[in-house]
Each structure stands twice: as structure tokens, then as C-alpha cells.
Structure 1
Amino acid sequence: MTHPLRFGIWAAVHGSRAAHHDPDEPDDATWSRNRALVLEAEALGYDAVLVAQHTINPYDEGRDQLEAWTASAALAALTRRIEIITAIKPGLYHPVVLAKMALQIEHVSEGRFGINLVNAWNRAEFERAGLPFPAHDERYAYGREWIGLVDRLIRGERVTFEGRHFRIKDYQLKPAGTFRARPTIYVGGESEPARDLVADHGDVWFINGQPHDDVAALIADVSRRPAAKGRLRYGLSAFVIARETDAEAQEEHARLLDLSRRDDALRAETRARTDAASVMFAKTDAASSRHVGTNGGTAAGLVGSYDTIADRIQAFHAAGVELFMLQFQPFEREMRLFAREVMPRVGRPGAA
């Protein structure tokens, strides 16, 4: 079964996604900019916003960084239709505390909230705070126990549990189940532990931007795992450059790629703080000379004419992608252009 096509945006939690020296887009991660961005996205017809979680800016520690969970609570109160998906790194919050926060935002949003479980890759964010940063597979083992507890708690179950990482005695959170069984659980990551985790505990698997055939192969692999059959859905991250012609889009891509080379020193510093076992960075490092954007960016191929991009979106959708989580630059201008020109071409008329 193919699920309805949906479009979301990445919140500007740490500023620009493609290049930090673009004269057309100041590197602005303020609350006021993000509030305006999300409200406009909702008005334009976008279905979701993903609020990535970082405590310090992962690319340049001297720049601003939006706090994900307090910002998401505020967005829940300000919006009326758009889904708010907030990333969480399990090592930063005890499952009881995080589950209570999630239920509160679910209640404020009246059933429009989702948790995006991610495996932390920025060692400095943990180590400088004196928090443990285990090896890659150990973090997934911790995350598996963590999300199993969060899942039960946000359903309103009374939980008693003693495991390797957590001991919980007779805990129940209320209110729960007011609008649905629980908030949606999104899971990111493409390693084998990540695929097992999403098959067992996820509702939606977020895949980093990459070509159609690679995405189709990933979906085929996870969909064969027994626990996923009949319920798992798929999302794809992508950076969009849409123009009237393919040539114009490629010209803009070249401009952003040239600007992004001025960020080479920032990328090197970020890579030095990154877990070497990160599958995302292993892929994006190899493609960084050809693509812009985070989490795969333009590797998904959404660069071209309005018709070209519409055709590629339809092909991804046929392969099983339900939700496209999009990046743009300059964000506001290009977000409007996509809503006006591409959404109607895939049967999703945007707002004026």
C-alpha cells in the first residue's frame, strides 16, 4: 500500500543547510526566524517540520543553536495543522523525563507530535558535558532499551522494568491517549543496528538523501524484516533546487557548491568531532565534492526543472517514500517556489 504523499521542512536550527557564506541567506538560527519559517510553511501547505536536536552548533560553535524541545513546545501552541517532529538523542534524557515532555507536546498540539530517535554522532556534545559516549553499536543497544521504555510510557502504561541501563518502578504518565494511542516514532540511521531498531520500534524510517535505486534497496531490505510488515512507513531527506529548466537548476547548484567550499575548514572541524562509525558521514564525505545540504542533501537528485523534480518525487513515492523532509537555500524563497511550482505537479496544490 502506498501512503499519501507528504512534504516537510527542516527547521533552521543551526542556520543554513548548504553554505554558511551565502549573501542571499544570513546564517540565522534564531527563534524568531524559525517561528516565522514554520508558520509560513504551514500556510503554504507543508505537512511537517523536523526540529533537529543539538545543544551546541555542530558546524561552528561560535554560531547560534536553537534548542529543539522548548522550541517544539512553543511551535505546538502556535500552529494548527502541521506535524511537529522533534529529534532526540537518548543519551541526553532519561526515558521517563523525555516521555513526559513528549506527552505534554502531544497534548498541546492535539495529536500532531512525533519523536525522531537519532544515534548521536557529535562526540564533543557529550564528552564536554561529562556524559558517556559509547561506541556506535553500544549506543544503539542503549537506544533500543530507551525507546522500548518511552514507547510504553507515552502509551500511558504503568511500567516496572529492570534492564541493563534503566530501572523503573511502578511509573505511569498522564494524560496519555487523549488524541491517539501515542505520538509517532520516527527513527534515523542506516547501519544494521539502526535497521533492526526501526523494524522493531519505529513507525517511520528516515533515510538520508541518496539516489532512487539506493533508497529502493534500503526500503526493500527493511520491509523484509518481520516486525516491519504492514506498518512501517518511509521518509527521505532531500535538498531541493527547482527552476524552470534543468540547466538553470544546475547553475544554481554549482553556485551553492562553490560557496560551500568556503566551509571546508568548518566541515573538517565537524568531522574531527564525529564518530568514525557513522554511516551518514561515511556516505556524505564521499559525495561532498558533488552535493550540497546536510543528511545527503542534493544526492537525492531533487535538482532540476519543476517537471523533472516532480517526476523524481513520484518515482521515490512509488518506491515507498511517503514523507519528503526538504531543505532549501535561501530557505524561505525556495520553499515558496517549491509550494507554488512543484506541489501542484504532484497533485498537492500549495496555498497562495
Structure 2
Amino acid sequence: MSSPIRFGIWALVHGSRAALQDPDEPFDASWARNRALVLEAERLGYDSVLVAQHTMNPYDENLDELEAWTASAALAALTQRIEIIAAIKPYLYHPVVLAKMAQQIEHISGGRFALNLVNAWNRPELERAGIGFAEHDARYEYGREWITVVDALLRGERTHFHGRHFHVDDYVLRPADPFRARPSVYVGGESEPARALVADHGDVWFINGQPLDDVAALIADVAARPRPAGAPPLRFGLSAFVIAAETDEAAQQHLEHLFALAAKDAPQREKQKANIDPKAVMFHTYARTPRVGSNGGTAAGLVGSYDTVARRIAGFHRAGVELFMLQFQPFEASMRLFAEEVLPRAKALVERDTREADEAREKPEQAIIG
């Protein structure tokens, strides 16, 4: 049986996702905007919000940047239904401190919290703070120890851990989670260490936007890997920038408009490139397909008429994607349009796929009985 389909949005922690100099979406990464955005997303029926973590704006250090964990705690108190996913870079928080924060937000939200483990790619955030920016695989080794400690503490276990980076003696957090075993853990990254990490510790693998065949191959690889005893099957999420309009032609025109606007950000993008870890796989992936938007953006191909975008979403769902974490520009207006026009179409297609799959499974059984 396929997983239910879910839709989420990226919080605008550093403003616009496709182009910073858009007259239809002036730069705004404020708490006020993000609060209103998430509350409206919940009213519109979106299932999740992802709050990315940066201490400084990755495009331009002089631009505003929303803080992820304090914002997530506030959103937990303000919302009723939507899942709140806060990204975390392990070098910024000791695992004991972060586990306590995560458990508190889990309580505030009533069991709707998740953390998204990412192992950092933006050098200045760590180097200028004096933390240091380790080599790619070393960051994943650190992240593996970090999530091992966090996982145990979130489960309410009395934790003893002695590794290369952390030494935790007889530590237990109270109150424990009254809603489930622990908050959900999303893991990002597509390198080999990232894939191994999500198979061992993740609940959901968060994949950057890219074409369907590439996503299907990634899912097949990680889904085939062994999981810890008793762990449920791994689920999959996809980041994508959506441009949906009445016709394919209108959507393509808007894409070209955003490409032209994004070209104005060339100076900021060049600075960003200089700060990127060259071993970060997602940036090599981006280079294969022209795109706008972050984390793969329009490379996933969700550009077209309402029916076109819905069909492509259904195709990704058939490949195993459960959660679509979406970006738009202009964000609020496009988010509303997607909820009105595309979301019901996509859900109808997924429901049809589910019925057909159920019928196909029943037919052999009926033949045997007959």
C-alpha cells in the first residue's frame, strides 16, 4: 500500500527562494511574515513547514535571516495541526542541549515536531564563529555520533555514550515524549555518508529537487538498505519549486521571468559559491539542470498547467515520494493558487492510483479462490 501524499512549504527564513530582486515579492525574511505564512498554510491544508537553519543569510550576509529554533517553538504554540520541521546543523548545538530543546517543542506542539539533520555546506557560518568547518566525510562522522546521542535522549533513555566527539554519562531527559517514541527525524544529503546515515537513523529522507528518473534511482538505492531492528520502512520527501498556471505556456513564461530576475542576483550567487563546500553533492546535482529556487528548485519539473503539475506530482508519488516540500514566487499568492487548483487534482490522481493498485492485488486472490 502506498503512503498518503502530503504537501509542505519552506518557511521564508532568508526571503525569496528564486530571486531576491522581484518587484512582486519585496525581500522580507521577518518573523511577522513567516508567522502569517505558516498560519495561512495550515488553513489552506498544507501538512508541514520546513524551517531551514542558518545563522547568517547564505546569499548575502547583510540581509536578514530568521532563526530556526526559536521560530519553530513559537510556531508550535501558534498552530494546531501542521507539522513543524526545524533543520539542525550539529556543530551549532551540543546534542544534550538540542535534544532538550527538541523535546520541549514536541510538548508545545502536541506531538507535531520533527528535526531535519543537515551537515552544513556554508563555510562562513562555522568558520567565522571559531567552530571550524571540517572536511565533508568528517562532518558526517560527527553528525552520526551527534544523532546517536540525540535519538537516545529523545526516546527518554538513560544514555551512556563514549565516542570520538561526545562523552555522555548517565544522562536522561524528563519529561519524556507522551505522544510517540520520539519526534520524527528527517535527514538531508545525497552523498554516500548521507545515505548510510538516513538508513540507520532517519524516518524520512529529504531529497533535493531533480528529475523523476533520478529521484526514483535514489529512492531505490536507499530503500534497499538494511534498517535497524524494529525500525519502520523509510519514507521519502522531495523539495520542489512549483510554477503552476492555467496553461503550460503561461507557466513557462513565468519561469523565464524568474530566470531573468535571478540573473540580477549574480553577484550574490558568486559570493555564495565561494562559501560552498565543493564536496556537497547537491551543488553538483544542481549544475546538471537549469533551475530557479533553492534545494533543486524547478529541476523537479513541477512547472506547467494545473493538470500537468498534478500529473507530475502523481508520478513522483508512484516512485515513492510521500512529502512534497514546496517553494513558490511570489510565495503567498502562488501557495494559495496551488492549494486551490493543484492540490485537489494531485490528491485525486493519487487516490485513483491507490484504488487501481488495490484492485490489482485483489484480482489474483479472487482467481485463486475461484
Query: Does 2:266 match 1:258?
Result: no
1:112 aligns with 2:112: yes
How much does 1:309 deviate? 0.4
1:75 is the counterpart of 2:75: yes
Deviation per CA, 1:81-106, whole angstroms, max 9, x where unpaired?
A: 00000000001100000000000000
Measure the CA separation in 2 of the matches of 1:200 and 1:111: 23
Distance 1:99 1:34 in 2: 24
Q: How does 1:1-352 map to 2 (within 5 A)?
A: 1-227=1-227, 230-287=232-289, 290-347=290-347
8 Å contact from structure 2 (residues 106, 177) kept in 1? no
What is the one-letter code of the residue matched to 2:26?
A: P
Contact 2:292 2:298 in 1 (8 A): yes
1:246, 1:176 → 2: CA distance?
50
Residue pair 2:25, 2:329 contacting (<8 A) in 1 also: yes
Percentage of matched positions with identical amino acids: 70
Q: Distance in 1 between matches of 2:56 and 2:152?
A: 30
Measured against aligned partners, the alpha-carbon deviations of 1:269-317 in whole angstroms (never above 9, x if no partner) come to 0010111101111222343xx2100000000000000000000000000
Distance 1:348 1:72, change over 3 A: farther
Post-superposition offset of 1:230 = 4.8
Aligned counterparts of 1:335 and 1:73: Cα–Cα separation in 2:
23
Alignment check: 8 A CA contact 2:107 2:177 kept: no
CA distance in 2, matches of 1:21, 1:4: 37
Once residues 324 and 64 of structure 1 are traced to their aligned partners in structure 2, the CA distance between those partners, rounded to angstroms, is: 26
The letter for the 2-side match of 1:335 is M
For the residues of structure 2 that align with 1:16 and 1:147, how far apart are their CA atoms?
A: 31
- Displacement after TM superposition at 1:35 (Å): 0.1
What TM-score does the superposition give when structure 1 sets the normalisation length?
0.97
Which digits, 9 at most, give the CA deviation of each residue in 1:239-274, with x for residues without a partner? 000001000000000000011001111111001011
SS in 2 for 1:185: strand
Deviations 1:115-136 (A, max 9, x none): 0000100011000000021100
Distance in 2, Cα, partners of 1:69 & 1:244: 38
Give unpaired runs (5+ residues) of structure 2: 350-370
Aligned residue pairs, count: 347
Name the CA distance, whole Å, in 1 between partners of 2:151 and 2:161: 13
Post-superposition Cα deviations, 1:129-165, rounded to whole Å, max 9, x if no partner, equal: 0002110000000000100110000011001111110
Question: Secondary structure of 1:347's partner?
Answer: helix
Distance in 2 (alpha carbons) for counterparts of 1:51 and 1:130: 24
Separation of aligned partners in 2, 1:132 and 1:142: 13
Question: What is the alpha-carbon root mean square deviation over aligned residues?
Answer: 1.2
- For structure 1, the 5+ residue unaligned runs are none
User: Residue 86 of structure 1: SS of its match in structure 2?
Assistant: strand
- Which one has the largest radius of gyration? 2
CA distance in 2, matches of 1:40, 1:78: 12
Q: Distance in 2 between matches of 1:230 and 1:22?
A: 43
